């Protein structure tokens, strides 16, 4: 879990008056998702600025040691191609990733399977990496609550007059109990 710093933003979109159990509403939600979130490389000729931002900031890979475990990417890239956005049985989105485009990045051919989900308007505004996901379960709310209330960074510092005569006497429990005083 990352620390709360300025370049980390949690964006929550509230789609009002939705009853997920009705099939017609689910279709409306998925269409709404595609209006705000994309996981595809945009067309270079019709929107060169967005193409440049996406290919610079929103392509996962090539995978390095930090995201490889047992020979596979821990972030589950490359994703599968999808002609439309769907939700899996656990409520996670499988975004629309059509097999219709690719780009060359640092001599590597990449396609829509490697694109991190983004909001076109936001990344054009901020010109940075923003992983945008749809919130579909109460677990997301629990994560956001835990993330926002996890507390500040702290460090124990001791200033000593004579460092040669140092006696390490650190009471971790006492430090924890008086941390907010």
Tokens representing 12?
């929550």
pLDDT in tens, 44-57: 999 999 999 999 99
pLDDT at 38 over 60: yes
Alpha-carbon span 112 to 103, nearest angstrom = 9
Per-residue pLDDT tens over the stretch 89-108 = 777 889 999 999 888 888 88
**Dihedral angle over CA of 75, 78, 81, 82, nearest 10:** 10
**Rama region for 58: left / alpha / beta (φ>0; ψ in -120 to 50; rest):** alpha
Read off the tokens for 38.
Answer: 């994309």
Higher pLDDT, 175 or 3: 175
CA distance 51 to 40: 10
Residue whose pair of structure tokens reads 């002609």 in the numeric block: 83
Q: What is the chain's mean pLDDT, rounded? A: 78
**Secondary structure of the chain in HEC code, one letter for each residue:** CCCCCCCCCCCCCCCCCCCCCCHHHHHHHHHHHHHHCECCCCCCCCCHHHHHHHHHHCECCCCCHHHEECCEECCCCCCCCECCCEECCCCCEECCECCCCEEEECCEEEEHHHECCECHHHHHHHCCCCCCCCCCCHHHHHHHHHHHCCCCCCCCCCCCCCHHHCCCCCCHHHHHHCCCC
Cβ atoms of 42 and 120 closer than 8 Å: yes
Look at residue 113 in the predicted model and tell me its pLDDT: 95
């Amino acid at each position: 879990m990352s620390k709360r710093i300025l370049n980390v933003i949690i964006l929550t979109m509230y789609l009002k008056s939705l009853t997920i159990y009705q099939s017609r509403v689910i279709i409306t939600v998925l269409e709404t998702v595609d209006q705000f979130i994309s996981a595809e490389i945009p067309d270079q000729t019709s929107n060169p600025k967005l193409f440049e931002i996406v290919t610079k900031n929103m392509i996962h890979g090539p995978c390095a040691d930090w995201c490889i475990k047992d020979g596979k990417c821990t972030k589950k890239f490359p994703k599968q191609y999808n002609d439309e956005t769907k939700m899996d049985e656990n409520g996670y989105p499988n975004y629309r990733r059509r097999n219709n485009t690719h780009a060359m990045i640092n001599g590597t051919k990449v396609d829509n399977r490697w694109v991190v989900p983004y909001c076109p308007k936001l990344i054009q505004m901020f010109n940075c990496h923003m992983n945008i996901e749809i919130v579909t379960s109460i677990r997301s709310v629990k994560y956001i609550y835990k993330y926002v209330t996890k507390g500040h960074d702290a460090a124990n510092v001791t200033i000593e007059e004579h460092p040669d005569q140092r006696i390490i006497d650190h009471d971790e429990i006492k430090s924890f109990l008086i941390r907010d005083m």
